[in-house]
Every structure is written in C-alpha cells, then in structure tokens.
Amino acid sequence: MARYADPGVLEWVESAGGPLIAVPETVLPFWAGADNEDLATDYDRACEVDGHVGLLPVGDSAALVFGEEPASTSFLPEHATFVRWSAAHSEDELLAGVPAALDSAVWGSEVRWRVPGPVLLFDSAWPGRAAGRIEHLRVPLEAGTYAVRAAYAQPGPETWVGLVSLSRLGN
C-alpha cells in the first residue's frame, strides 16, 4: 500500500491503470480478475462499468467497482466514505478538504449494495485469491445493505477529491 506521509496516516490503494474494486471477503475466490481463459474476464467486466461506481455480481454477492479514473483510494470510517485522490499537494491538504467536499458534493445516482460483511479494496486486474499477497485495504463493513453514491468535489483551488459515500440502510 502506498503511504503519502508519516506513519499512522491512511493507507492508499493504487491500480496499474484499471478500476479498483471492493469485493466481499466471502466471495474473493470467485473474482478471477484478468486471470481467466474466457474471452471476457472479470477485469474486462469491471472496465465496462460506466460512471463513478457500479456493481458486478461475484458469487452470491456483488462487488463495488470504482470507475472513471484509477485514482489512489482509501477509506475514512468516520465519514463512511471512500476517498479518491484526484489532485492535492499533500495528503494533509486532501484530507483537510474532505468535510467541505462532503458538504458541497453534487452526488450522482445511488446504487444499493448488499454485503455479507467486510470487503477488500484492490486492483480489479488481480484475482481475489491473491488478495492477501497484493496491495489491498480491508474495510470492516457490517453485513447489510448500503446506499452508495459518488461525486467529485473541489474543496480548494488545487484540490480535487472523489467521494464514494456509504449509508447503511435499516436491515
């Protein structure tokens, strides 16, 4: 995982150029990434997601695909939000702008994501069975259904941040 400041700050997941994906731990073995002999791989399916976020079936669950750009991404549990680093001079500058970004964001369409528990965020090109050996971030979500919405915001003159907000629905 990439770190952009002193120890103790966020861990960021990066991709080699394709979309990032959050896969429930229980269905990781079913995500083949780009390692598939079929003509259309799971990675190809992830690349076809249109928009900032989308859902893809994986096993008996679904994975959340982070579309548009392959920005470094982390998770802020205090905001229940994935933060995507689009532009900022430093991690401190980016994180300082998150509250203003959340307040001013123009949110896109909402999707409903049902998860059986914790998810792993990683590069969609990798197979899920390799997740323990590759750059990933474990996000300890509670089982349930989440409303997911995404936006890009500019909280400062040279700071752009992508936001993927999760709101747990009553289950």
Domain boundaries, the chain: 20-168
Which pTM value belongs to this model? 0.90
Look at residue 89 in the predicted model and tell me its pLDDT. 87
Q: What percent of the chain has pLDDT over 70?
A: 93
Reported as a single tens digit per residue, the pLDDT across 36-49 is 666 789 999 999 99
Q: Nearest-CA neighbor of 56 among 96, 111, 3?
A: 111
Contact 63, 55 (CB under 8 A): yes
Distance CA 68, CA 79 (A): 22
Look at residue 7 in the predicted model and tell me its pLDDT. 46
Q: What percent of the chain has pLDDT over 90?
A: 69
**What's the order of all strands across the beta sheet hosting 136-139?**
53-58, 61-66, 20-24, 119-123, 136-139
pLDDT surpassing 90 at residue 165: yes
